[in-house]
Amino acid sequence: SVIVGGMDPGSNKDEDGIIPEVSEEMQPGLVPSTASTHTASHPSHAQSQVKLSTKQHHRKKSSLPNEKIEELIQQATEDRHNAREEQPPVASPREQGSTSPRAKSSVRLATKSTHHRRKSSVPAEVIEAMIAQHQDAGETGAAVRKKSVRKGGPENGDGPPSDGDDDGARMVRIPTESELENARYGDGGPKQSVIQRMKREEADTRLCFINNHPMNDSLGYVKNTVKTTKYTWWNFLPKSLLEQFRRVFTVYYLVVVIIGFIPGVSPVAPAVNLIPLVVILGFGIAREFYEDVKRSIGDRRLNNSLYDILPRDPTSVNASEPFVKQKCASLEVGDIVFLRKGDLIPADLLVLSCSDASGLCYVSTANLDGETNLKLLRVVSAETNSARKPEQVAALRGLLSAQQPDPALYHFEAQFSIEKDGKGGLPIPVDSMNLALRGSRLRNTAFMYGAVVYAGYDTKEALNMRIPPYKFGELEKMLNWIVIFLAVSLFVICVAYGSAATIVQGGLRGYWYLGQDTVQGVSLGNQVDAKLWFESFAGFLILYAAYVPVSLFVTLELCRVAQTLFMQYDREMESRGRNAASTASNLNETLAEIDYICTDKTGTLTENLMKFVSCSVDNDIVDIRDRPDALNISKESSDSIRLFVLSLALCHNVVPEPPDDEDEAIPDDAAGLNISAGDGKPKLIEYQGPSPDEVALVDAARSFGMEVLARPQDSVLVKIDSEEKEYKILAELEFNSDRKRMSVILRDPDDNKLYIYTKGADNIMLGLVKKDGPEEQRIAVANEHVDFFAKEGLRTLIYARKELSEEECASWMLRFNEAKSSLEDRANRVDAIQAEIEQNLTFVGISAVEDRLQADLPATIEFLRLAGIKIWVLTGDKRQTAESIGYSSALLDSKMRVLHIEAKDSDDAKATVENLLLDVAGSQFESMMDKYSDREANFCVRAWRNFLGIMFWKRELRKRLEKERQGNRNNAVIVDGKSLQFLIDNHADSFMDLCDFCKTVICCRVTPMQKALVVRMVQSLRKKITLAIGDGANDVSMIQEAQIGVGIYGKEGMNAARAADYSFSEFRFLRRLLMIHGHYAYVRTAKMINLQFYKNLLFVCAQFFFQYACLFSGASFHNQWYVSTFNVVITSIPPFVIGCLERDLRASTLYNIPELYRAYQLNPIVGIVSVFEYTVGYGLYHAIIIYVFGVYTFESETPFANDGRVGGRELQAFMVTSLTCFVTLVKMMMVTRWWNWIFLLSIAVSLMFFYLVPPVFINVFDEAPLIGILQECMASPVFWLYLLLCMTVSLFPDFIMYMYRKVFSRPDPVQICEEIELKGVRCLMHDFE
């Protein structure tokens, strides 16, 4: 970018603060002389030449459209002072707060990483004006040489020299459409295409032509369609299947199903294994479909909303019907959109014109940054703002040269040129104050015209969005590894059994009942072939498919659905007419393992309701909660009270906004636009301001009797004692984070005197007020009152005033305007001038505002802390606001040491963090620095350390918990968005080490993308489970990045709730979600998983053992119908009931004891160890006892009936199957803590199903082997003896282990609370709450 004529791009003014006007003597074909010639002849004007700016982030080529264009660049020949008088000054864009730094993360969280966006192309045939090489840095004010590309015109300065003695001015003429066509297809044939030329030049700007649709259309920009769905109609099935097959189990079972369809291999029907796989995949796909349909409905509603735009052919504007209805998805770059008050802005728009004569308009960006206060925008120029009627706007011609799409919300750089009479004008600098962002809402402005600059996926809102990811719970990841282990072990077993079958059966020839020919004299193992091995291997793989429990995953999906329903219908989590909701049931158990919570502030921790509750006036604290009429203005009111209330009404940036149904003050030249229609009913004026505090103070002034009626550009209208008074504003000194105060200089209509009113933070204002004489006592009392308000968690401001003389004010205003027009060190000069007049103020009073927090917020945060969860606050608010909320919400306290990180660059951020870390870490600092050097260790060393960490995980976990207890000192860190980006990019490790020593981390002024990057940083560097919670669209990226995303139904829309995994209305419900629903989900799911692995292995082991008796023929020991029904029907109901209703402790106990949240970290219920215990420890032992007793102790020749008949193999198998079922059900009863009637009923139903198998399948399928078995067993004493003996021997070690853990092992918090609940209780089933 360039500085033209001594103008700074940020000010649009020359060195004296006046915008130069282009001279009429500038004629086409004239070009300036070279920089060296001009500098030599006019050395005094060296600094007024066209210079390269160093104030921009990125040096860009200034591209001026000039195909067959006579670029008109020459020195101004008119007297500059005359030009200044003719050109009205335009206010320079004001910086909006703290500009968010441009995100530099290597991993983009934007949708452009997944959507192919066409790169915007600048037609080189239109842009052939080039900026020459920059002169040597030592040549002050060296000019930039220009080339004239006018066909047949002078070249490289051969034209007449400038006869002016002042700054060079640059003019741009917008080409006509015919010239553009000639430029593409000139005499020399077709030129290079726009895209080809742009690929060569790699330009980093995009062009937007005003009211020139053909040119905008030729640049190939994307349209305004935005979709947040995860799937499309054509990729849903393959993509959703791919998501489901990320589970190892589904891949394993798919292999089993495929093998089952091979003819002559499967010992069972293929449908036996196919049906469970279809059910599991169906559950997952149905859930994905349901969630994506909801997203699609929201997208369709937004994309199909209608907006008024000017016709794309400007000549077809009809005065009677000037606008054309266009769907939001059909908007294109360059379209002129007409918006009314309250409309949602559909794309990133350049503000051309608005209803305010001064060019000011307001938008609400709550959906983008979470802030409910209004943002101030300005029109791009006074000339465009003069166009109010549609035909006037359609007559505008101009060109915007802007940066490429950037996700930073408040970073925008561009230049805008207006065409006059076919000639271009001076480029006007454009910044974020001139850009209305998609997703924001027009407020306090009757209407606005805006030109689409970025559409669709190029908008800043879309760049901060990301496609919803598929999230895996920690338990699901662990199950993947367990299934891999089981599948590998099964594969090894099947290979061994297949090899044994091949060897054994290959040598057994001559047995007619095996279907083999008689072969004599063949030794063992001679007839081995590959076909026999494969058939044996595949048959064993299908026969033992239940070794990896298919019923586990079917039951798991059903249990999660039931747990989700419990959450949704939990009346304790119902508020504001909404129930809790869940869209990710696979994460239920992960709720019990949260380590970090990253939360938004506005609307999440607070309700965004500020209220004036108290003040200090005349050395007295006035609490209006106790004395509501103490500050009411009347004739009897003291002067101090009147002055204090008047200060509330005058010193602010609040703008009165008429109610929506009242008639707006519409300019005469904008009449007929059908902007609003009122019903004539009087309603209170609504106030909108840059912060909720200011609105609360002005609203309080109205309740006390001084109502702000209007806020024109240079005055404020106040109604006092039924009389309207207009206070003329001479200057407004705005608030910023460095000054921590604001002032307004105005003229009092009562005495016509000048006063300055100032308000600000106590630590700043107490140093600016007078302390001499009687004032010293007042200031001492004010200090005490400030401390009193702070202890109550109130937000305080100190008000002061001073009278100014006319001479003093005039002199100061002159120097103030000069400072604002300065090109060098402007900010510091302005601050210094402002500080001069804000001295020796007279103390007026102290205001105290209460920020309404969410219900039970301090108690909830304290409980979560005691539960071992670290809380990070990520907010777009100012540091002071975030810090104040931290104190009121118990995140910060007066005993806590607050560390601030505000860095100018990456090196400064590194030094700041290391100094703070050295201070708080002490002796541990060196070991932390050594940790960074460990990264240089080779792969083998790192792998060995990781292996030791896995093997001794419990010891490492204890060390980590102890470190956290030591590190959680009374420290807190607050970092701003700019510094945070430096830390994320380059110093994330040291920053995380510093945060480990802090109880609270607050990140302020962060963008939506930075929120997601912080979550990613915590998850990647600490390998911990993170929960993100927010209520606005600006929190969506953070919610989707975290393992658990929680949305709040708030005032900022439903974006966060739709994108979240869980959603409810208030932050306090997070405590119940984690402590009760999360805890119960973990306990229920963990016990159900252990029992599923146990019962499957117990049942399959008999099949394993039997192969040694049947010569590895693949015969099934259990009856085929028991094989089909044992896991899916007979023993499926009790695990399901356990997964839905089991509880180890009462809900009231969990809700009140935070230490229980970490109870299962050191002693997890489910894991590699528990699965090994239940399978090898219990399952294998029980299977050996049952099989050995059933086959070898009670052999088939043993008399079974009273008449001496033997049982045979079928009766023997039925005995083993029966005992397997009984032992499994008794084991479930031992594991289950809560024996409610539903669980006991499920046990009875399981037994009923077991005994119904023989009669049902005998009558339906004529299953001959089952005929008479049930009656023989029930009548045989051998069966009952076998049942009693085996159950005693098999379950006795389980009872011993249970008693050992209860009596001899060190109890954990859960066991202690269990004993507390049972104390004095006579029966375990004392209630069924």
User: Which of the two residues, 17 and 1160, has the higher pLDDT score?
Assistant: 1160
- pLDDT value of residue 929: 58
CA triple 596-867-558, angle to 5 deg: 75
Confidence of residue 471 (pLDDT cuts 50, 70, 90): confident
Identify the pLDDT of residue 449: 94
**pLDDT band at residue 1080 using 50, 70 and 90 as cut-offs:** very high
pLDDT, position 156: 36
Res 726: pLDDT: 92
Cα–Cα dist 351/425, whole Å: 18
User: How distant, in Å, are the alpha carbons of 286, 423, 499, 1054, 1118 from that of 505?
Assistant: 47, 98, 10, 68, 22
Residues 6+ apart with CB under 8 A from 608: 372, 602, 692, 852, 1051
CA-to-CA distance for 402 and 404, rounded, in angstroms?
Answer: 7
965 pLDDT band (50/70/90 cuts)? low
pLDDT of residue 264: 66
Write down the pLDDT at residue 328: 92
> Is the pLDDT at 34 greater than 50, yes or no?
no
Question: Average pLDDT in the 879-903 region?
Answer: 82
In sequence order, which ranges of 889-976 are alpha helices (DSSP H)? 906-921, 925-933, 939-951, 953-967
Which pLDDT value is given to residue 46?
34
pLDDT for the residue numbered 1228: 92
Q: Between residues 760 and 1195, which one has the greater pLDDT? A: 760
| Cβ neighbours of 1220 (radius 10 Å) | 27
CA atoms of 1058 and 1034, how far apart (whole Å): 13
Helix (H) or strand (E) holding 1039: helix 1036-1041
pLDDT category at 192 given cuts 50, 70, 90 is very low
Which residue, among 953, 863, 865, has the nearest Cα to 595 in the 3D structure? 865
How far apart, in Å, are the Cα atoms of 1329 and each of 62, 1141, 1236, 1242, 1325? 74, 11, 10, 19, 10
- Provide the pLDDT for residue 271: 67
Specify the range with the lowest mean pLDDT, choosing from 12-16, 481-485, 723-727, 962-966: 12-16
Lowest-pLDDT range of 66-70, 592-596, 995-999: 66-70
Give the chain's mean pLDDT.
75
Nearest C-alpha neighbor of 998 from the set 907, 927, 899, 1086 = 899
Looking at per-residue pLDDT, the higher value among 383 and 92 belongs to 383
Give the tens place of pLDDT for each residue, 728-769: 999 888 887 678 889 999 999 988 999 999 999 888 898 899
Q: Is the pLDDT of residue 351 over 80?
A: yes
pLDDT of residue 667: 52
What letter would DSSP give residue 621?
A: E
d(CA 1260, CA 1251): 15
Distance between CA atoms of 463 and 985, rounded to whole angstroms? 19
**Cβ–Cβ < 8 Å for 695, 851:** no
Question: In sequence order, which residues have a C-beta less than 8 Å from that of residue 175 and are 6 or more positions away?
Answer: 65, 66, 67, 68, 69, 126, 183
Statement: residue 439 has pLDDT above 70 = yes
Residue 496: how many CA atoms within 13 Å on its side-chain side? 9
Q: What is the pLDDT of residue 179?
A: 43
**Residue 227 and residue 111 in contact, taking contact as beta carbons nearer than 8 Å:** no
Per-residue pLDDT band at 973 (split at 50, 70, 90): very high
Q: Write down the pLDDT at residue 415.
A: 87
Which DSSP symbol is given to 1126? Answer: I
Proportion of the chain above pLDDT 90, given as a percent: 18
d(CA 914, CA 267): 68
Q: How confident is the model at residue 940 (pLDDT cuts 50, 70, 90)?
A: low
Which range, 10-24, 180-194, 564-578, 1253-1267, has the best average confidence (pLDDT)? 564-578
Inform me whether the pLDDT recorded for 197 exceeds 60: no
- Looking at residue 219, its amino acid is L
Smallest CA-to-CA distance from 1100 within 553, 550, 543 is with: 543
Q: Which helix (H) or strand (E) holds 628?
A: none
Q: Structure pTM?
A: 0.66
Average of pLDDT values for 644-670? Answer: 71
Given this model, what pLDDT does residue 918 score?
Answer: 84
- DSSP H or E run through 203: none
Task: Tell me: pLDDT of 139 over 70.
Answer: no
pLDDT of residue 1309: 83
**pLDDT over threshold 80, residue 1051:** no
Give the model's pLDDT for residue 36: 35
What pLDDT sits at residue 1070?
93
pLDDT of 998 > 70? The answer is yes
Residues 510-515 have a mean pLDDT of: 53
For residues 902 and 893, give the distance between their C-alpha atoms in angstroms, rounded to a whole number: 21
Angle at 1115 between CA 1110 and CA 1121, to 5 degrees: 140
Better pLDDT: 911 or 7: 911
Distance CA 807, CA 1121 (A): 105
Can you tell me the mean pLDDT for 131-153?
32
Q: What angle do CA 1037, 1039, 1042 make, to 5 degrees?
A: 105
- pLDDT band at residue 1084, thresholds of 50, 70 and 90? very high
CB 407, CB 1009: distance < 8 Å? yes
pLDDT in tens, 1122-1156: 877 788 788 889 999 999 999 888 898 899 888 88
Q: How confident is the model at residue 795 (pLDDT cuts 50, 70, 90)?
A: confident
Average pLDDT over residues 663-691: 57
C-alpha 1075/C-alpha 1063 separation (Å) is 16
- Which helix (H) or strand (E) segment is 254 a member of? helix 248-260
Tokens of 138: 């030592």
Q: Identify the CA nearest to 422 among candidates 854, 70, 657, 758.
A: 70
Decide if pLDDT at 12 tops 70. no
Between the CA of residue 622 and those of 615, 647, 778, 795, what are the distances in Å?
A: 5, 16, 15, 15
Which three-class secondary structure string do you get for 137-200? Answer: CCCCCCCCCECCCCCCCCCCCCCCCCCCCCCEEEECCCCCHHHHHHHHEECCEECCCHHHHHHH
- Return the pLDDT at 1244: 93
Q: How far is the CA of 906 from the CAs of 104, 193, 879, 985, 1007, in angstroms?
A: 12, 42, 20, 9, 18
Picking from 115-119, 400-404, 504-508, which range would have the lowest pLDDT averaged per residue? 115-119
**Mean pLDDT comparison of 748-757, 920-929, 1103-1112, 1262-1271, highest-scoring range:** 748-757
Q: Name the pLDDT band for 919 (thresholds 50, 70, 90).
A: confident
Task: At 1007, list the tokens.
Answer: 């963008």
Q: What are phi and psi of 61, to 5 degrees?
A: -75, 130
Query: What is the reported pLDDT for 509?
Result: 54
More confident residue, 515 or 501: 501
pLDDT reported for residue 964: 53
Residue 663, pLDDT score = 43
What average pLDDT does range 1249-1253 have in this prediction? Answer: 87
pLDDT tens digits for range 420-431: 776 767 788 888
Given a cut of 60, whether residue 1201 has pLDDT beyond it is: no
Q: Which of the given ranges, 151-165, 255-269, 441-455, 1270-1284, has the highest pLDDT on average?
A: 441-455
Q: Kindly tell me the sign of the dihedral angle through the C-alpha atoms of 355, 356, 357, 359.
A: negative
Residue 1053 confidence (pLDDT): 59
User: Hey, how many other C-beta atoms are within 10 angstroms of the C-beta on 1314?
Assistant: 18
Least confidently predicted of 341-350, 662-671, 873-882, 996-1005: 662-671
Of 330-334, 1088-1092, 1212-1216, where does mean pLDDT reach its minimum?
Answer: 1212-1216
Q: Is the pLDDT of residue 1325 over 80?
A: no
Taking only the tens place, the pLDDT of each residue in 1018-1043 is 998 888 899 999 887 778 889 988 99
Residues 525-577 pLDDT 10s: 445 567 778 878 888 888 787 788 877 877 888 898 899 999 988 989 988 77
Do 1058 and 397 meet the contact criterion of CB atoms below 8 Å apart? no
CA distance from start to end of the chain: 71
Range 949-954, long-range pairs (CB < 8 A, 24+ positions): 954/1162
